[in-house]
Structure 1
Amino acid sequence: MARKFLISRIALAVAISGGLTAAVSSSPAFAAKKEKVSGSFSKEFSAAAAEFDKAVSGAEANPAVKAATDKASAAQTPAAKTAAAAEVDAALGGADAKLAAIGAAATTPLDKIKLGELTRNVGVLKNDPALQNKGLVMMINSGAAKPEQMGQLQYLAGVTAYQTGDYAGAVQYLKPSYDSGYRDQQGMIDKVLADAYKRTNNSGAALALSQAEIDKAKAAGGKPSDGALRTALQAAYDAKQVGPATDLSAQLVQYYPTPASWQSALQVVRSLNKNMGAQENLDLMRLMARTGSMNDKGDYLSYIQDADPRRSPGETLKIIDQGIAAGKLTAGEVADYRSVAQSRVTADRNGLPTYEKEARASSASFAAINGAADAFLSYEQPAKAEELYKLALPKAGGEKDRVLTRIGIAQADQGKYAEAQSTFAQITSPTRLPVAKMWSAYAKSKTGAAAPTAAPAS
């Protein structure tokens, strides 16, 4: 489950590929600062750093440095990276040694921010995130960074810490950057920060971070981003927070009702809500089938087993045929289920008028009425099913929420989405509430209308 949501290394590389822009480009050149006043470069630092600054600034125009830098960017193995970084160092005339000498001369805030810039830029040329991070932290701590630069500097320091596996360090810098309102062009800051929280065993903070973004979008009258919803859902799933994970699953598919979203959301709901039985799972599998999100053999087999070829032969055969047609099942795997269903389906379908007649009798039991309604829903006759479920409701007793769920399903199957939302909002039992929330999200996704508020998850 976790693999579906986490940030890919490729996406992270894209997020930082632009490098430092305003913060680096706004650092003053040595020639412009010769006056001996507060905020200037020291004489010793200028003398030590000027030549090396020119070499680093002109790296792209230096064939030897450019070739070594290209090698560093393309290196895949640790050995290749180390060798390429050494070539960059040599092409720059001994970069590490020169940085050490320049550092010994850095005394003023402006010296220190320039030393950090040089260190960071050498790290970029070497494709060395740890060295980049070291330089960025120097810039942050120099005392010379302008307030408008700080958010970007902190973001890049956090990302480079993340790349080195220093997730606590990533949080240390990404959190103040995020809180300051800084947002990178690729929209990665919240995702990297949330994953850093997770990797420091703080899923609660990751959830709060993404939830704040979701709430902000809603308050502004918009819809939360897919990324914010998925990040929050991942955090809630990791923390095993059943109620929030269910609510976020419902929001994800309400706003982004794609098969992939439905598959992820329903997997989360089924995984975390351990107390659901076969009938609850059957209604979730029905939703999965209606949203085109059944994806593997396990989905089809789960549906077939919970539908039960002895109770719902027609529905079972339909799912068997769909699974085989989709290439997820083989005929041999479901031969026994098919045999049982085929032996019963004709008589079951032909018995529908009798089931209805018996269900409408004044003396009909709940079991007779509910069984007839289940049969009509199974054979895709939702209008008749809705009528019969409503007849069963006064006699449902402890089965009330199951009947309400099926009424809502029948209404949704007829396109009566507002009525379905109202029906699902009446469901309160812990085992049925997750099912109701997901079906309500389905109905809401079809209309965009606000759904009635269901009772909170326990």
Structure 2
Amino acid sequence: MKFVSTMALGVALAVGGVALVGVAPAVAKEKKAEAPKARNYNLSKPVRESAAASQKALEAGDTAGAITAAQAAKAAATTPDDKLISSQLLYAAAAKANDQAKISEGIDGMIASGVADPAQLSQLYAAQGKIAYQAKDMAKAAQALDMAIKSGTTDPDVYALLVDAKARAGKPAEAIALLQTGIDKQRAAGQKVPSEWYQRGIAIAYGAKLPDETERLTQQWLVDYPSPTNWRDAIITYRDLHKVDSDTDLDMLRLLRTAKGLKGERDYYEYAEAVYLKFPGEGKAVINEGVAAGMVKLAPGSNFKMMSDASNSRSAADKADLASATKAAKASANGKSAAATADSYLGYGEYAPAIELYNVALQKGGVDANVINTRLGMALAKAGRKDEAKAAFAKVTGSRAGLAKYWTIYLDNPTA
């Protein structure tokens, strides 16, 4: 399964003019704010002289001279105001020269001065973290991006980059917990979460073998992006991490088929192999769908041809036996034969008798209620009885609860 390995996130800084006093550098803005009130800065004489030279050089287009003078001011700085203004000037000159190392140095200096405008600290930390991330300094990136969040950033990229930085630092559980916080904030703000966030989170959780986190993220992803391809990726990921039994595996293939998520010869082969003998009507239907989709070829001597021939030859007699099987199931002392006959009806797409017999099976007992409620929910869903289907899935517990949740998500978010 292929997931996006990294998120497409911009880390470039917006560059603008910087005045000597009173105006902070034009780092990436989170939102348009009112112009800050000018404040007076108490600069030492060496810093004031070098700062003036730096600004004069910058205005003349001499970025190299502006950087040199700003660095001289920074070297002479002794007070917090000295450090802030010299770092602002270094940032401004480096930004004009597109010198990322010195841009970073300027931002670091503004933060370290301790007197940067508190309203702009989140922007400074965000910029610091993005540059460190771009330079692959993940420890510095994680620290700065975390401070940006604590300072109240509204930049969604900060969450995404910090998640990736933590994952690259070998902290997948922390990365997923942070991503979930970002997802929750996006949703609370009425904003759609980028698909890339889910994809990266799923890749991290899957790679770290975190089944619960993977399940939760795939389910949230499907609510926002319920495409057939996403359904296939989500279900296959779930199956890989949970090592489900054969019955649950079959019901997941049935969900994939319903969500139009079967793709390629392998998917159809796995499904057909699981049902062509036990449920020949279902096997026949699945193989025919694969042929129609161009995914299956019935070449002479192939396994597909063998399964197709077997399901075709068995389905007529099997279907003809359903009436007597139904009568016997209703007279049986327990619900096992009712459940088996309902399964056959489900495979033939005859949902009304399947629903009736699943209810008989539940009433008589002697069956796994979680399996029966899963398949009752499937039959009700196929019959267009959405609310009843959701009620059946809500009764499913244990190892099938995840599957029931996926089915419920599909009912509310069907693929086109």
Please, what TM-score do these two structures have when normalized by structure 2? 0.82
Question: Counterpart in 1 of 2:123?
Answer: 152
CA distance in 2, matches of 1:238, 1:152: 32
Question: Counterpart in 2 of 1:4?
Answer: 4
Say which SS state the counterpart of residue 209 (structure 1) adopts: helix
Q: Check the 8 A contact 1:310/1:341 in 2, yes or no.
A: no
Q: Check the 8 A contact 1:386/1:410 in 2, yes or no.
A: yes
What's the offset of the Cα at 1:265?
2.1
Distance verdict in 2 for CA 1:240–1:295, change over 3 Å: same
> Does residue 320 in structure 1 map to residue 287 in structure 2?
yes
Question: Counterpart in 1 of 2:306?
Answer: 339
What's the offset of the Cα at 1:168?
1.4
Candidates 219, 222, 225, aligned match of 1:250? 219
Question: Counterpart in 1 of 2:346?
Answer: 377
Q: Check the 8 A contact 2:138/2:165 in 1, yes or no.
A: yes
Question: Counterpart in 2 of 1:104?
Answer: 75
Say which SS state the counterpart of residue 153 (structure 2) adopts: coil
> Does residue 19 in structure 1 map to residue 21 in structure 2?
no
Matched to 2:163, the amino acid is A
1:383-398 counterparts in 2 under 5 A?
383-394=352-363, 397=366
1:202-221 counterparts in 2 under 5 A?
202-216=171-185, 220=188
What does the per-residue CA deviation read over 1:183-236, in whole Å, with 9 as the maximum and x for residues that have no partner? 23xx31211111111112222222222323444566x59586245655554554
Percent pairwise identity? 30
Say which SS state the counterpart of residue 415 (structure 1) adopts: coil
What's the offset of the Cα at 1:105?
2.4
Question: Counterpart in 1 of 2:33?
Answer: none
CA distance in 2, matches of 1:137, 1:145: 11
Quick check: 50-59 or 338-347, which moved more?
A: 50-59
> Does residue 143 in structure 1 map to residue 114 in structure 2?
yes
Candidates 139, 161, 174, aligned match of 1:168? 139
What's the offset of the Cα at 1:18?
4.8
CA distance in 2, matches of 1:205, 1:318: 45
CA distance in 1, matches of 2:325, 2:66: 90
Q: Check the 8 A contact 1:113/1:138 in 2, yes or no.
A: yes
Say which SS state the counterpart of residue 351 (structure 1) adopts: helix
What's the offset of the Cα at 1:126?
5.3
What's the offset of the Cα at 1:169?
0.9
What's the offset of the Cα at 1:420?
1.2
Quick check: 259-268 or 150-159, which moved more?
A: 259-268
Distance verdict in 2 for CA 1:313–1:161, change over 3 Å: same
Say which SS state the counterpart of residue 310 (structure 1) adopts: coil
Matched to 1:410, the amino acid is A
Matched to 2:405, the amino acid is K
What's the offset of the Cα at 1:296?
3.9
CA distance in 1, matches of 2:108, 2:333: 77
CA RMSD of aligned residues (A): 3.3
What's the offset of the Cα at 1:153?
0.4
Question: Counterpart in 2 of 1:41?
Answer: 43
Candidates 375, 380, 392, aligned match of 1:411? 380
What's the offset of the Cα at 1:288?
1.5
Q: Check the 8 A contact 1:120/1:134 in 2, yes or no.
A: yes
Distance verdict in 2 for CA 1:344–1:284, change over 3 Å: closer
Question: Counterpart in 1 of 2:54?
Answer: 52
Question: Counterpart in 2 of 1:348?
Answer: 315
Distance verdict in 2 for CA 1:368–1:427, change over 3 Å: same
Quick check: 198-207 or 92-101, which moved more?
A: 92-101
1:61-210 counterparts in 2 under 5 A?
92-93=63-64, 98=69, 100-125=71-96, 127-184=98-155, 187-210=156-179
Say which SS state the counterpart of residue 226 (structure 2) adopts: coil
CA distance in 2, matches of 1:345, 1:161: 63
Distance verdict in 2 for CA 1:26–1:306, change over 3 Å: farther
CA distance in 1, matches of 2:58, 2:145: 27
Distance verdict in 2 for CA 1:286–1:19, change over 3 Å: same
CA distance in 1, matches of 2:201, 2:339: 39
CA distance in 2, matches of 1:57, 1:289: 66
What's the offset of the Cα at 1:150?
0.3
Quick check: 149-158 or 310-319, which moved more?
A: 310-319
CA distance in 2, matches of 1:214, 1:143: 32
CA distance in 2, matches of 1:258, 1:178: 32
What does the per-residue CA deviation read over 1:264-307, in whole Å, with 9 as the maximum and x for residues that have no partner? 32232122112x02221121122122222334444333323333
CA distance in 2, matches of 1:222, 1:52: 45
Distance verdict in 2 for CA 1:336–1:383, change over 3 Å: same
What does the per-residue CA deviation read over 1:244-263, in whole Å, with 9 as the maximum and x for residues that have no partner? 32233223223432234323
Say which SS state the counterpart of residue 84 (structure 2) adopts: helix
Question: Counterpart in 2 of 1:402?
Answer: 371
Distance verdict in 2 for CA 1:245–1:353, change over 3 Å: same
Say which SS state the counterpart of residue 413 (structure 2) adopts: helix
Please, what TM-score do these two structures have when normalized by structure 1? 0.75
CA distance in 1, matches of 2:99, 2:59: 18
CA distance in 2, matches of 1:99, 1:315: 76
> Does residue 287 in structure 1 map to residue 255 in structure 2?
yes
Matched to 1:348, the amino acid is S
Matched to 2:165, the amino acid is A
Q: Check the 8 A contact 1:39/1:109 in 2, yes or no.
A: no
Q: Check the 8 A contact 1:129/1:161 in 2, yes or no.
A: no
Question: Counterpart in 1 of 2:325?
Answer: 358
Say which SS state the counterpart of residue 7 (structure 1) adopts: coil
Matched to 2:87, the amino acid is G
Q: Check the 8 A contact 2:141/2:162 in 1, yes or no.
A: yes
What's the offset of the Cα at 1:388?
1.9
Q: Check the 8 A contact 2:53/2:66 in 1, yes or no.
A: no
What does the per-residue CA deviation read over 1:380-438, in whole Å, with 9 as the maximum and x for residues that have no partner? 222222122222234553533222111111111112121111111211122x2221111
